[in-house]
Structure 1
Amino acid sequence: MDVLRPALININGRIYRKNAVKEEHYEDEEEEAFSYSGPVSDSCLDEPCDTANIEQTDKGFRCSIDVPSVLYKYIIGKKGETRRRLEAETKTTISIPKPGEEGPIVITGSQKAAVASALTRVEVLIESFRRKQPFTHFLSFGLNHPQIQEGFKRFKEEVLEHCSQDMGVDASIFQNQTKLHLTIGTLALLNEQEVTRASELLTECQGFIRDITEGKPLVLQVKGIEYMNDDPSMVDVLYAKVCVQDGSDKLQQIADRLAECFVAAGLMVKEWDRVKLHATAMNTLFRNDPSVENKGGAGKAGMKDREAFDARNILKPGIFLEFWRPAGGIMVL
């Protein structure tokens, strides 16, 4: 299936097939000596590329690409192997800032097509490894209404009172009530320029948000709890369901449009066709790493070490579901 339905990479509106490649890790080498083996792309040399950013100089052609410094090592490769291979295959020169310095990667060559090919290969390589970076930020709506937070506090107290003897249930796996939120998506923003771009994009999105809401507040209701796997006795995430009180899909529209905008800008990776609107109430990732709360509960580390909990008693009708009753679960967005 990797061959029949390969992963696709969107770079500045151009779609590339991501071939399966071999990635080699060297335990005895420094992090900067990371090596990437295999083809960067099987079609970069012959396909037409966007050459708008390539300028002609007295010595040939030149282009530059802004790359966060944390990704330089993937272009350099182990002992410079990746850069040398790219330069040899495209007959170009790739200049990368020195360690500790920030700046663009500059590609020069005697032929415009060669520079365009090298540029595409570098972009595909960067995009591939960008997806492997740990999340630094997440886009979310804060559930900061006092009634919501007070209701969650009561929910936590009741669960610990009645279910603390159930496997894996303890106070450490509950979300911090002041950090309750609806996560729209996670981002890996690797330098200040990307943080600024994300902030500017979020400001731009206010226009369509006003259009969807018609300039009026959205009254939301937090009601009901659900789990994210098929076995209630072995749960890793328990979440509260959120909907608009009038029954409309306006909140879903806003969430989906936000995700689309950030994906199109290259600041977020598309994972689902629609954003799953939920508020994490309990997450086993919190058990060993409370800092996961600051990442929206989406940390990558420690996934194999997480200890599930038995949620069957928590999910019994008429007991804890009443926590999300309308009187204690309405907020205005």
Structure 2
Amino acid sequence: MDVLRPALININGRIYRKNAIQEEDYEEEEEDYSYSQTAVEQCLDEPCDTHNIEQTENGFRCAIDVPSVLYKYIIGKKGETRKRLESETKTSISLPKQGVEGEIVVTGAQQAAVVSAVTRIEVLIDSFRRKQPFTHFLSLALNHPQVREGFVRFSEELLERCRQDTGVDGSIFQNPAKLHLTIGTLVLLNEQEVTRANELLQQCQETIRDITEGKALPVEVRGIEYMNDDPSMVDVLYAKVSAKDESKKLQQIADRLVECFVSAGLMEREWDRVKIHGTVMNTLFRKDPSAEAKRTQGKLNGKDREAFDARNILKEFGEFYFGEFDLNCVHLSQRFSTDCTGYYSSAGQITFT
């Protein structure tokens, strides 16, 4: 089926077909990279009108924005990747100096050759972008004073009653100031990409206000849940979050935002619907207090996670009431950051009112 129905890749709003291939791991050597049998070699050429191709006196030219951190994947070890691309497509590929943001310029005598080279570069970059850790995420802050007080009470009572359970200790609790609901994660590798994501978020504001009817949304944080099939071996516990009026507005807001960012190629769809929850306990915090729960991209090594026994916790605190408040904002939050309030630094935000 991988051959008959190849995977689709969204790059800058364009959809490409990608044949199944066996990728080899890149090994770093003097900050240079090479490749073998990557998606570049099997990418299907796209029509010329999908790229901004300029005609020049000597042929054709196309410039594409690529974050400087990804240049090395186009250059390859000792320049092998760029040489192979230039040879196979009969084009010339020019890159800015390493660390300098700018455009990669592809030139060639034939328009189709330039298109082919650009398409292969974009698919190659997309392949390695997917391997980068996420840098930002769309979030709904749950750190309202009432919820924070409830969370502190939850952690104190839990440690008093369940400290004897395997793996349970104070190091695995979320920072109360950073309680949040993650809508989706993004890999934004330079200021231009952050700006683009913020602009897209602003474009979503009217749509979100249509859902909320221009009002803040009263929400309740009550109950906890886990997502694996064995409560005695749990990595993360989540608080349940729901609209006070029992409407589906919170789910609609989250799903609409994900749909918008996925369509623009800035986010990968992980589930059919966003899971509405906020992390309260996570074994990643045991080793890194600033870590966020991210279990869906296969980037966490199982050896780095130490499970805990949540059976008594679920029995004692399954319907614990954390609090309620009026939700009125969506943040474009920066990972591993803190603002003056203790929450994540914001690269942009929109309000419901």
Q: Runs (4+) of structure 1 moved beyond 4 Å?
A: 295-299
CA shift in 2, pair 1:49/1:13, >3 Å: farther
Q: Does 1:194 align with 2:193?
A: yes
The secondary structure found in structure 2 opposite 1:329 is: strand
**Structure 2 counterpart SS, 1:224:** strand
Match of 1:321 among 318, 321, 324: 318
| Further displaced range: 24-33 or 255-264 | 24-33
Q: Count the aligned residue pairs.
A: 326
Amino acid at match of 1:330: E
Query: Structure 1 CA distance, aligned partners of 2:6 and 2:177?
Result: 41
8 Å Cα contact 2:17/2:44 also seen in 1: no
CA distance in 1, matches of 2:3, 2:282: 35
In the TM superposition, residue 264 of structure 1 has moved relative to its aligned partner by 1.8
Q: Secondary structure at the match of 1:151?
A: helix
**2:37 corresponding residue in structure 1:** 37
2:19 is aligned with 1:19: yes
Residues 2 and 161 (structure 1), Cα distance of their counterparts in 2 relative to 1, 3 Å cut: farther
- Offset, 1:2: 3.8
The Cα of 1:26 is off from its aligned counterpart by 5.7
Q: Secondary structure at the match of 2:240?
A: strand
Aligned residue identity for 1:269: E
RMSD between aligned residues: 2.0
Kept after mapping to 2: 8 A contact 1:234/1:310: yes
> Per-residue CA shift, 1:153-196, capped at 9, x if unaligned?
11100111111111110111111111100100111110011111
Superposed counterparts of 1:55-134, under 5 Å: 55-134=54-133
1:330 aligns with 2:324: yes
Give the deviation of 1:304 after TM superposition. 3.0
Aligned-partner Cα distance in 2 for 1:16–1:53:
17
* Structure 2 unpaired stretches of 5+: 328-353
Paired residue type of 2:310: A
Q: How does 1:41-52 map to 2 (within 5 A)?
A: 42-45=42-45, 47-52=46-51
Partner of residue 8, structure 1: 8
Q: Is the 8 A contact 1:22 1:36 kept in 2?
A: no
Relative to structure 1, the CA distance from residue 166 to residue 3 in structure 2 (aligned partners, 3 Å threshold; closer, same or farther) is: farther
* Cα shift at 1:41: 5.2
- Is 1:155 the equivalent of 2:154? yes
Contact 1:285 1:297 (C-alpha < 8 Å) held by counterparts: no
In structure 2, the partner of 1:233 is 232
Q: Distance in 2 between matches of 1:303 and 1:21?
A: 25
Structure 1 window deviating more from structure 2 (63-72 vs 121-130): it is 121-130
Q: In the alignment, does 2:257 pair up with 1:284?
A: no
